[in-house]
């Protein structure tokens, strides 16, 4: 097993920190904290470089808030300065560690993503009779930090890089959606072990997304190399096994549950299901059927709510037409990954944006019309 060393000079290199700042500001360029940081970019990066080099860097406090997408999720956002550090670390270690990832792990990887995962899922579903769809119960809040650090040490041997990774992990807020009632004893635990172990990573950090992928990398290899199920793929903590042999998947479910105990994780008792693929399966916001791929109703409802919000924002002059066109094109591109021609006709054909107190209207852009009619 290859372990990477001597990474620290690359991480704290000024050019790497500058690249990290550029990556961290994508989509957030005009926020106050980003503008303040960029106003003195060179000095801010130099100060960060010095703190990291002397190992005096201390992460700031998180801003925690709840979203509904569709279920309530607790999101913890790190200060922008810390997000630059997260990108600087991932710029150097992510591509190296990802070499050990299986081909069919799709979350948060350059060139992969939801749409490629959907295409692969559809291919597998239409060529096998059964699917075992699995979901891990409260995944991000349940990640054991000591186990994560051990997994990182199997890949890295650079002391300073490991110090930075540990610092980011230890500074993570402990999510409140895992109570004492959620604490479960795993093999070898003493009475108070579940309460003593630190667990949980904040959803939203680039490092959290990468660490979460790494945390389940061993499971991916276990399924592929030991269970030898015909086809398997994973997107974050949602994964699926396909076979024409139902008994094989029943046995696989039991074996996976036992393996996850070594990571102090549990399968979700309701969301983990084994069924025939002809009944249709939900995956990354779509429903995959034998002859078509539809958008899930809850996903469509959320998108329509966002569309109504765009119309309200345009009505009071809070958003530019160019931004609306970009978002509509993005949504149209997403819908095209399903069999959605009539749906797109219904949504976009008569779409109107009106300024309040004015008769001016913004028609759907010609490129949207052309794409919808294609």
| pLDDT tens for each residue of 231-284 | 999 999 999 999 999 999 999 999 999 999 999 999 999 999 999 999 999 999
The whole-number average pLDDT for the span 80-90 is 97
What pLDDT was estimated at residue 357? Answer: 59
Report DSSP letters for 141-198, one per residue.
Answer: HH-BHHHHHHHHHTTB--HHHHHHHHHHHHTSPPPTT--GGG----TT--TTHHHHS-
Percent of the chain with pLDDT over 90: 65
Please tell me the predicted confidence (pLDDT) of residue 179: 53
Residue 251 in any domain: the answer is yes
pLDDT at 33 over 80: yes
Cα 297 to chain centroid, rounded: 21
Range of the domain at 319: 296-350
Kindly tell me if the per-residue pLDDT of 41 is higher than 70: yes
Q: What is the DSSP letter of 272?
A: -
**360-372: b (≥16 Cβ within 10 Å) or e:** eeeebbeebeebb
Q: What is the pLDDT of residue 363?
A: 56
Per residue in 95-138, pLDDT tens?
A: 999 999 999 999 999 899 999 999 999 999 999 999 999 999 99
Is residue 366, in this structure, part of any structural domain at all? no
pLDDT of residue 358: 56
pLDDT range class, residue 204, cuts 50, 70, 90: confident
Q: Is residue 362 part of a domain?
A: no
Same domain, 344 and 228: no
pLDDT band at 189 (very low <50, low <70, confident <90, very high): confident
Which is more confident, 184 or 118?
Answer: 118
Pair 30, 175 in one domain: yes
pLDDT at 140 over 70: yes
Same domain membership, residue 184 and residue 281: yes
Is-contact 166 149, C-beta < 8 A?
Answer: yes
355 in any annotated domain: no
- Does pLDDT of 362 surpass 60? no
Q: Do both 54 and 152 map to the same domain? A: yes
pLDDT, residue 286, reads 95
Residue 227 falls within a domain, yes or no?
Answer: yes
> Which residue, 132, 140, 368, 138, is CA-closest to 272?
132
**Number of domains comprising the chain:** 2
pLDDT of residue 176 exceeding 50, the answer is no
Q: What is the mean pLDDT of residues 83-103?
A: 97
| 120 within 8 A of 104, measured Cβ to Cβ | yes
96 and 225 housed in the same domain:
yes
pLDDT of residue 351: 77
Per the domain annotation, does 258 fall within a domain? Answer: yes
Are residues 17 and 97 both part of a single domain? Answer: yes
Residue 371, domain member (yes or no) = no
Does 112 share its domain with 227? Answer: yes
Q: At what angle do helices 32-39 and 80-97 cross, to 10 degrees?
A: 80
**Whole-number mean pLDDT of the chain?**
89
pLDDT for res 372: 46
Burial 225-264 (b: 16+ CB within 10 A, else e): eebebebbbbbbbbbbbbbeeeebbeebbeebeebbeebb
Please name the residues in contact with 174: beta carbons below 8 A apart, sequence gap of 6 or more.
Answer: 198, 199, 200
Shared domain check, 241 and 134: yes
User: Cα dihedral angle (76, 133, 221, 177), rounded to 10 degrees?
Assistant: 20
Q: What is the pLDDT of residues 287-345, one digit of tens each?
A: 999 999 999 988 888 888 888 888 888 888 888 888 888 888 888 899 999 999 988 88
8 Å CB contact between 263 and 219: yes
Domain boundary among 263, 287, 311: 287
Here the tokens at position 49 are 């470089």
Q: Are residues 220 and 319 in the same domain?
A: no
- Could you give the C-alpha distances from 206 to 47, 107, 159, 168, in angstroms and in order? 22, 12, 21, 11
| CA neighbours closer than 13 Å in the CB half-sphere of residue 34 | 14
**Is residue 198 located within the same domain as residue 228?**
yes
**Alpha carbon distance 252, 132 (integer Å):** 9
Q: Do 157 and 62 share a structural domain? A: yes
Band of residue 211 on the pLDDT scale cut at 50, 70, 90: very high
151 pLDDT more than 90: yes
Of 360, 333, 359, 337, which is closest to residue 348 (Cα–Cα)? 333
Q: Is the CB of residue 178 less than 8 Å from the CB of residue 115?
A: no
* pLDDT band with cut points at 50, 70 and 90 for residue 364: low
* Same domain, residue pair 264 and 325: no
Q: Under a CB-based contact definition with an 8 Å cutoff, are residues 193 and 183 in contact?
A: no
pLDDT tens for residues 50-62? Answer: 999 999 999 998 8
Task: Give the integer Cα–Cα distance in Å for 374 and 372.
Answer: 6
Contacts of 261 (CB under 8 A, 6+ apart): 186, 187
Q: Is 60 exceeded by the pLDDT of residue 373?
A: no
């Amino acid at each position: 097993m290859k372990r990477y060393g001597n990474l620290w000079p690359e991480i704290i290199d000024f050019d790497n920190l500058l690249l990290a700042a550029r990556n961290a500001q994508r989509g957030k360029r005009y926020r106050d904290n980003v503008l303040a940081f960029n106003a003195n970019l060179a000095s801010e990066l130099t100060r960060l470089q010095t703190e990291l080099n002397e190992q005096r860097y201390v992460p700031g406090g998180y801003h925690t808030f709840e979203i509904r997408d569709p279920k309530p999720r607790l999101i913890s956002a790190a200060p922008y300065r810390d997000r630059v550090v997260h990108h600087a670390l991932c710029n150097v270690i992510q591509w190296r560690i990802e070499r050990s990832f299986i081909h069919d792990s799709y979350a948060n990887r350059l060139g992969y993503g939801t749409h490629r995962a959907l295409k692969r899922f559809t291919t597998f579903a239409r060529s096998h009779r059964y699917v075992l769809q699995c979901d891990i119960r409260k995944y991000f809040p349940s990640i054991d930090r000591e186990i994560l650090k051990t997994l990182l040490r199997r890949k890295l041997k650079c002391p300073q890089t490991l110090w930075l990774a540990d610092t980011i992990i230890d500074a993570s807020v402990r999510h409140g959606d895992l109570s004492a009632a959620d604490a479960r004893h795993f093999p070898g635990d003493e009475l108070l072990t579940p309460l003593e172990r630190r667990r949980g990573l904040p959803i939203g950090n680039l490092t959290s997304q990468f660490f979460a992928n790494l945390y389940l990398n061993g499971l991916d290899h276990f399924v592929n190399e030991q269970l030898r199920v015909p086809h398997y793929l994973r997107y974050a903590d949602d994964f699926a096994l396909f076979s024409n042999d139902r008994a094989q998947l029943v046995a696989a479910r039991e074996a996976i549950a036992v393996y996850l105990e070594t990571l102090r994780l549990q399968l979700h008792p309701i969301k983990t299901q084994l069924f025939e693929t002809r009944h249709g399966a939900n995956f990354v916001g779509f429903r995959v059927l034998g002859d078509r791929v539809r958008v899930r109703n809850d996903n469509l409802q959320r998108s329509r709510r966002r569309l109504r919000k765009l119309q309200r924002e345009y009505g009071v002059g809070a958003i530019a037409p160019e931004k609306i066109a970009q978002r509509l094109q993005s949504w149209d591109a997403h819908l095209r990954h399903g069999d959605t021609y009539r749906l797109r006709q219904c949504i976009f054909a008569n779409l109107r944006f009106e300024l309040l107190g004015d008769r001016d209207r913004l028609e759907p852009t010609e490129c949207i019309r052309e794409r919808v009619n294609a």
